[in-house]
Structure 1
Amino acid sequence: MALKYGCSINSAVEDENSEENSPLLQKEAEELSVPPKCCSARCNLAIMMFFGFAVVYGLRVNLSVAMVAMVNGTNSQPSLNGSETHECPGALNSSSQSPDQLDGVPRYNWDSQMQGMLLGAFFFGYLFTQIPGGYLSGHFGGRIFLGGGVLCTAILTLLTPLAAELGARWLFALRALEGFGEGVTYPAMMAMWACWAPPLERARLMSLSGAGGNFGAFVSFPLTGFICHSLGWPAVFYWCGGAGCLWAILWFILVSDDPRKHPRISDQEKEYIVNTIGSEGGSHGWSVPLLPMLLSVPLWAIIITQMCSNWSYYTLLTSLPTYMDTVLHFDLRQNSFLSALPYLGGWLFSVLSGVIADNLLERELMGVTAIRKIFTVVGMVVPAGFLVAVAFSGCSGGLAVTFLTLSSTIGGASSAGVYMNQIDIAPRYAGVLLGITNTFGTIPGVLAPIVVGQLAKDHSLTGWSNVFYVSAGVSVVGAIIFTVFGSGKLQNWAVSEDEREADRES
């Protein structure tokens, strides 16, 4: 029964052109007892993941704000003609003129190119563990990899002040190792949701858990600025590392890989999850259809679109505090608070988008493909327009912050689009697919800070305008590609021969 239902519900939901499946979906959904979502084991898992990814992003972005305090005058680098560039004389405060830093805390003479390299170092390591993490999570379960990845990154974060004291090369290596440890976390999340998320609840559960990233950035930016101002920048890494270790302990105590293994789940919820997911969830074994994956057009659409979307996201994530400091001249506390605002909107909008997407699917108003494409286009094209508006805002700090906040807020819509499309097209291999797409999607994390360091090395309005133009253009290209080539249908290579035979017999 589990196999039959699992195949039937996915065929009904994901094949918009097969009207004969709709009555079957409605009939079986009515017969199956749906347990309450509130306080359920699957909801609790989403909340644990939410706070886990909040910690993950805290560990990832702490250097972005701390860099302003670590560097000896981030906006005192010479321009190309040998003079300093100050195009916004009416700024509120210049952190270079009045360093908001405790006495005795070390500062380093790193130019803008070195800062870009250090901010991008995390992603050099992040690249290498995405695919292995997704593959191993799909075979062994994601619990150990998600929790272990956060724990390893947290422990390394505690060593950041020591690495900075030893030199930029040591800090670069440490940040790359942090990325190496954290690279398994998102593929492990996808592998777990393949076992835990009923098809009609995927968007809301995965959006809620993934929204922890934006929430973590929102909290980390102002908190990092406050700690830098009050305790000195080294304390930032001690606090973030400690929070990561604490979360990892709770994760290993409270979470299970599979609903069948969860000690506190109700029988009703366990039956509901197992029956709706069917045999598409669970371990994929050691065998993975690599060649069909490489030839899959919908998968390449996800890969390219995520790369394009991540370009603007990582540009803001790593370089926004530098823009606030060197162009708009906000002081350290203003900088960290204003840098956080865009992620508040992104967090709220991504959760809301997941709920709306699932409601559209439950009411059969749209098919999966249409929903994923609409939310992707809205989450990439509209934010691109606001990034262009930032370029035209000039020295107006209020306008710049407003447009950046609107851009990141509406960008949260893509969390119900391309960012969960892997589990639509191949639930069983979702962890592997996310590893693949995130590997390519991490390339902008490596390149974007370096490109920003080159385009904005003179800290001019023109240089930063070019940064925003490039980000906007890349986002629009990604939205077009997904609109043309994306799909929400279960792919043939993601279904085993046994499942095909059972589906034919049913």
Structure 2
Amino acid sequence: MDGKPATRKGPDFCSLRYGLALIMHFSNFTMITQRVSLSIAIIAMVNTTQQHALSNASTEGPVADALNNSSISIKESDTKAADFGVILVIVVRTVQGMAQGMAWTGQFTIWAKWAPPLERSKLTTIAGSGSAFGSFIILCVGGLISQALGWPFIFYIFGSTGCVCCLLWFTVIYDDPMHHPCISVREKEHIVSSLAQQPSSPRRAVPIKAMVTCLPLWAIFLGFFSHFWLCTIILTYLPTYISTLLHVNIRDSGVLSSLPFIAAASCTILGGQLADFLLSRNLLRLITVRKLFSSLGLLLPSICAVALPFVASSYVITIILLILIPGTSNLCDSGFIINTLDIAPRYASFLMGISRGFGLIAGIISSTATGFLISQDFESGWRNVFFLSAAVNMFGLVFYVTFGQAELQDWAKERTLTRL
């Protein structure tokens, strides 16, 4: 489906499908705030527990004397509490990852039946920008909530938003526009006619062999690998890089540490709008748009990363580059990240799960490699980290530009059964 289907203009921002995009935006916002709030709350929880222990020890007379004479026992209990906290965080993180992973990939199954080809970039980026916006909000207000109201209120507030999100999802989201009770006839006809060339019947067995040998699919996987490699490094080691080189503890400034996320959310939405504008005006072919935004999303962050070691003495320029890296990187959302909806909409959810797996593997490898390199020598280590990241991005970019496609693949087409 490399060309641009000519479809009648349907209702735009007041339409139901844009309402679904906003609900998914809220869903992604909720998932990321719940994930990050756990990290914020666990620190406040441990600090509060330690303060209560010291307070009790200083006010109970004989008990205080016993505790002061048993420092080893106190340290052992603190160690056990810390170990329990680590185990608890790991368990919760695992459950969160499993549940939220399914929720995130499941959105692409919805868009395969709800998003007209000329609006896919806009709709998916509106929904996906909720993650970056959620990171911005939780970093700004998470610490304030913990200090002003207490750490349990972080869970109360963002847990409540999750309940509201579930209510909206169950009442408003439907599998396809044909069965939605509130959709207008005009919008239904617009969506159905625009997706007329796509298969809509239930899929059979997943064609694993065909997927494994499909180079356009591997181009998407390697794009995810490259994209997550650099993004994980920046988001994980941002406080360390700033505090060590510029002598500024970014963790003491929630607004400053959240600026990259608001930049990422803005670039995600703007990129989606521009991509669909280019398609709707017949200025570029679909595959050209996908490769253009993939190139921008991999090349621009690489340039910024390579430039960082050479401007380390400038606080302002360093902060600008650190903001631009995740911002420009999210232009990939209009490139290979939604490319599975072009080449295999029937298997979009399954393939997005695999793509995210490649991204997670990249994050693990890049974080480990970064830790090793900067432990050897900080300045030269960071320079090697950024050069290596740029090389990984360039490899993923070249592979995607060479083998990426936007045509519906043969193995993803509907098969008509005939009897001889």
Do Structure 1 and Structure 2 share a fold, with TM-score over 0.5? yes
1 CA distance for matches of 2:260 and 2:184?
A: 39
Displacement after TM superposition at 1:200 (Å): 1.2
Matched, 1:224 2:130: no
> Is the 8 Å Cα contact of residues 251 and 257 (structure 2) preserved in structure 1?
no
What residue number does 1:380 align with?
298
Alignment of 1:299-310 (within 5 A): 299-310=217-228
Matched, 1:42 2:17: yes
Displacement after TM superposition at 1:326 (Å): 5.1
Matched, 1:294 2:212: yes
How has the CA–CA distance of structure 1 residues 338 and 284 changed in structure 2, closer, same or farther, with 3 Å as cutoff?
Answer: farther
Give TM-score scaled by structure 1 length. Answer: 0.70
Cα root mean square deviation, aligned: 3.1
How has the CA–CA distance of structure 1 residues 37 and 496 changed in structure 2, closer, same or farther, with 3 Å as cutoff?
Answer: same
Deviations 1:73-94 (A, max 9, x none): xxxxxxxxxxxxxxxxxxxxxx
Deviations 1:346-399 (A, max 9, x none): 211121111111121122222111111111011111111111222333354332
Unaligned runs of 5+ in 2: 54-79
What residue number does 2:185 align with?
267
Alignment of 1:68-83 (within 5 A): none
Displacement after TM superposition at 1:225 (Å): 3.5
Deviations 1:32-57 (A, max 9, x none): 4x332122110000011111111222
Alignment of 1:19-38 (within 5 A): 25-26=5-6, 29=7, 32=8, 34-38=9-13
Deviations 1:208-258 (A, max 9, x none): 111112211222222223335545656544543333233222222222221
AA aligned to 1:432 is F
Displacement after TM superposition at 1:267 (Å): 1.1
Displacement after TM superposition at 1:278 (Å): 2.2
2 CA distance for matches of 1:470 and 1:485?
A: 23
> Is the 8 Å Cα contact of residues 199 and 414 (structure 2) preserved in structure 1?
no
Matched, 1:340 2:258: yes
1 CA distance for matches of 2:23 and 2:82?
A: 32
Q: Secondary structure at the match of 1:167?
A: helix
More helix by share: 2
2 CA distance for matches of 1:245 and 1:215?
A: 19
1 CA distance for matches of 2:367 and 2:39?
A: 11
Matched, 1:57 2:4: no
AA aligned to 2:137 is V
Q: Secondary structure at the match of 1:378?
A: helix
Displacement after TM superposition at 1:66 (Å): 6.3
2 CA distance for matches of 1:64 and 1:315?
A: 18
Between the aligned residues of both structures, percent identity stands at: 36
What residue number does 1:132 align with?
none
1 CA distance for matches of 2:81 and 2:177?
A: 42
2 CA distance for matches of 1:247 and 1:392?
A: 45
Matched, 1:469 2:416: no
How has the CA–CA distance of structure 1 residues 365 and 451 changed in structure 2, closer, same or farther, with 3 Å as cutoff?
Answer: same
How has the CA–CA distance of structure 1 residues 250 and 167 changed in structure 2, closer, same or farther, with 3 Å as cutoff?
Answer: same
Displacement after TM superposition at 1:302 (Å): 0.4
1 CA distance for matches of 2:284 and 2:216?
A: 19
Matched, 1:173 2:173: no
Displacement after TM superposition at 1:286 (Å): 3.8
> Is the 8 Å Cα contact of residues 326 and 459 (structure 1) preserved in structure 2?
no
Deviations 1:147-188 (A, max 9, x none): xxxxxxxxxxxxxxx996723233223212221121112220
Alignment of 1:305-320 (within 5 A): 305-320=223-238
1 CA distance for matches of 2:16 and 2:148?
A: 40
Give TM-score scaled by structure 2 length. Answer: 0.83
> Is the 8 Å Cα contact of residues 203 and 346 (structure 2) preserved in structure 1?
no
Matched, 1:487 2:400: no
What residue number does 1:353 align with?
271
Of structures 1 and 2, the larger Rg is shown by 2
Q: Secondary structure at the match of 2:205?
A: coil
